[in-house]
Copies of this chain bind each other. A is one copy, B any other.
Amino acid sequence: MYSVSVDGGLAGKVTIVSKGLKKCRGSPVCVRASVASTPLRVKNQQLKIGDSEKTVRIGVLGASGYTGAEIVRLLANHPYFAITVMTADRKAGQPFGSVFPHLNTQELPNMVAIKDADFSDVDAVFCCLPHGTTQEIIKGLPEQLKVVDLSADFRLKNIAEYEEWYGQPHKAPKLQEEAVYGLTEIYREEIENARLVANPGCYPTSIQLPLMPLIEEGLIELRNIIIDAKSGVSGAGRGAKEANLYTEIAEGMHSYGITKHRHVPEIEQGLSGVANSKVTVSFTPHLMPMSRGMQSTIYVEMASGVTTDDLYHHLIATYKNEEFVKVLGKGVVPHTRHVRGSNYCLLNVFQDRIPGRAIIISVIDNLVKGASGQALQNLNLMMGFPENTGLQFQPLFP
Contact = CB atoms under 8 A, between A and B. Distances in A.
B286 A76 contact: no
Interface in A293-310: 293, 295, 297, 299
A354 B7 CA distance: 57
Which of A49, A253, A254, A386 is packed against the most chain B CB atoms within 10 Å? A386
A73 interface: yes
A22 B355 CA distance: 36
Interface in A333-348: 333-342, 344
A75 B37 CA distance: 11
Contact of A251 (B3, B43, B78, B290): B290
Interface in A235-294: 238-242, 244-256, 258-259, 264, 280-284, 286, 288-293
A81 interface: yes
Interface string A360-391: 01010000000000000000010011111110
A84 B35 CA distance: 12
Contacts of A53: 12
Contacts of A25: 188-189, 321
A311 interface: no
Interface in A41-72: 41-46, 48-55, 66, 69, 72
A317 to B, nearest CB: 11
Nearest to A381: B20
Closest 7 CB pairs of A and B: A252-B337, A37-B386, A44-B44, A9-B9, A247-B398, A228-B228, A29-B384
